[in-house]
Amino acid sequence: MAKDKDDKKKTSNYSAESITVLEGLDPVRKRPGMYIGTTGPDGLHHLIWEIFDNSRDEAMGGFANDIEVALLPGNRIRVVDNGRGIPVDVHKQTKVSALEMVMTTLHAGGKFGEEGSGYKVSGGLHGVGASVVNALSTYTRAEVHKDGGIYFQEYSEGKKKASVKKIGTTKNSGTIITFRPDEKIFPDTNFDFNKVVNHLRQQAYLVKGLRITVIDARENSEKEVKDTEVFYLRELSLEAPSMSFYFEGGLMSLVRFENALQKPVHKNIFYVEKNTTEYENVEIALQYVDDISSRILPFANNIYNSEGGTHITGFKTALTRTINNYARKNNLVSEKEDNFTGDDVLEGLTAVVSVKLREIQFEGQTKGKLGSVEARGMVETVFNDSFGAFLEENPDDAKAMIQKVVLALRARKAAKAAKDSVLRKGALEGMTLPGKLADCQSKSAEESEIFIVEGDSAGGTAKMGRDRRTQAILPLRGKILNIERARLDRMLGSEQIKNLVVALGTAIGDTFDISKLRYHKIIIATDADVDGAHIRTLLLTLLYRFFRPLIDAGFVYIAQPPLYKIKKGKEVMYAYSDEEKNKKIGSDISIEDIIELDENTTEEESEENEEVEENTKGKDKKKVAKISIQRYKGLGEMNAEELWETTMDPKVRILKQVTVEDGRDADKVFDILMGTDVPSRKSFIQSNAKKATLDV
């Protein structure tokens, strides 16, 4: 009974006073992920995109043509445009300056009003961009050049410091927003200059006639920058890295840029731009290249939609239909040949699909996927008509495209036959696992892990040192096939790859099923030398191209075996880097007391080095243990106990999880490193050599 009384008492205390109301921008600071997706690097950079999008919307409306983004000392960002300037007059509804309302109120902006009063189209759909950035910054400054006057207001954590104030006169027109992200919200507030450059370069392609400048002034002093004394920071002629982008070619220029490392299949790039209504527009460019991957870049109101959306659905439908119709009509395929599938027509395709809508709907504030239903019909109609006409008017290009798609269709059939053969063989043998695989006892994928190791020597050691209950070992013989430009049928002809596919259990290609994965940790364990790095890259290429969901789900890891074994008397230590080795040796040890061992050192010689010697200095006698250091070149040099306690024991081992931050950047890196363009690969290696850890 006492418990019932307590429960009633608790219930009676639940009243209106128990409801917390978050006012102003407090909800943003409380739940930042709802507004910017994450507080990691992507969310941090999303702050720049939100402010830039407001300036870019001015350019899309024809009110601006010059935007500058500067990275300033103290992790501040400064974005300038020469647009109309945010209104500063008092808003009739709220009785405060429009500038203050835009910067401190959610869902306030020039994107919700009547037609003609704000923007025809905009990327900043939700009207929360500037206010969200303001809320998540310790300092924000808005400076507006408008109607001959300069107005400014400063904020902290979304709250104004004072009212909007006029501070001078100007001949310029536009807006300057400066902000510093809050370190309490973002664990890391260091911006990536290359990430900013890549994103803004893309935006310059999307808005013809727009100049975008990016400046990295973080290494300059506050005194040098003087960002409040000039309109554009470039007026200061700083010695700082900077890039400027301006493209008249629009999407055609973007397709050429994306295909810079590829061999085009046809000469002319297809391009169409058409207004479907006064406020709606479709723009598409495409070109086929000699590759087996596809690259489709979707945009809605110039926002990159990483997850696609309705406009891409319409594009793919029209592409498949148009190519099938043209091929049949012009007898470019035999009557017995099957119709092309969506996968067939996408192989080797580079395409940019951009739509602009007055009323636009994204799925989530980060705008990763377009949800506007009308976009599908718009794209389907415009692309179907214009692409059909392009094929008729350019028969040589059309024939080359069809031949590329026919090759993809036949390769798909060959791959299916090869895959079915592998699966049939497995079924006939009772899904026999590869003979080289030492499987684990557990049947639970959640607790099981597979180590993919290099060679039989390391495989034998790993088998002896593992935990048989949860750890499986699959040794590879030599280097696997480079699959970057290999089709599925050729891949499955490789015994090494076939063994890996069967061991994982997910199948491959269109029958891939991640729910059948036999291990939730796929651990690549290769030697710490050039060959080991090459094998690791080949495996990552295979997993990225054909098992991408495994990486996205966080199932792929790289083992970090130690580089050094350090013996100090009877004490044994391991070091995973040169810095850690030096730290464990200590600074008070003389060179004479350090003995370097190698793989040829015998056990007897190693034991001799453990002996303690007397070091006599004057009257004092001090026993000093000599230190022996062994540099591991490969996993095979370790015995089973060493491999377990350094690399395989879940309690102490170091694993690096493989993730993909930017799929398009990853595609380019794999194209360069594993493709056929030797000059590009050489240039990439030379440019990134300083980032490499060398073992000389």
Catalytic residues: 454, 527, 529, 531
Identify the helix (H) or strand (E) that includes residue 528.
none
- Three-state DSSP state, 412: helix
B/e letters for 127-162, b = 16+ CB within 10 Å, e = fewer, are: bbbbbbbbbbbbbbbbbbbbeeebbbbebebbebee
303 vs 661: CA distance, rounded Å: 18
> Strand 165-169 to strand 270-277: parallel, antiparallel, or no bridges (unpaired)?
unpaired
Q: Please name the residue that has the structure tokens 């445009």.
A: 81
Give the orientation angle of helix 495-504 with respect to helix 395-428, to 10 degrees. Answer: 70
d(CA 549, CA 555): 9
Distance CA 333, CA 14 (A): 73
Q: Contacts for 381-386 with beta carbons within 8 Å, 24 or more apart?
A: 381/276, 382/272, 382/274, 382/276, 382/282, 382/284, 383/272, 383/282, 383/284, 383/314, 383/315, 383/318, 383/319, 383/322, 384/318, 384/321, 384/322, 386/270, 386/272, 386/274, 386/284
Q: Measure the CA–CA gap between 294 and 667, rounded to whole angstroms.
A: 10
Q: What is the 3-state secondary structure (H, E, C) of 166-226?
A: EEEECCCCEEEEEEEECCCCCCCCCCCHHHHHHHHHHHHHHCCCCEEEEEECCCCCHHHHC
Pair 602, 665: CB distance under 8 Å: no
d(CA 354, CA 298): 6
Which two structure tokens, joined as six digits, stand for 412? Answer: 């798909």
Q: Which residue has the tokens 């309490």?
A: 184
Distance, in Å, from the CA atom of 5 to the CA atom of 286, rounded to the nearest integer, reads 72
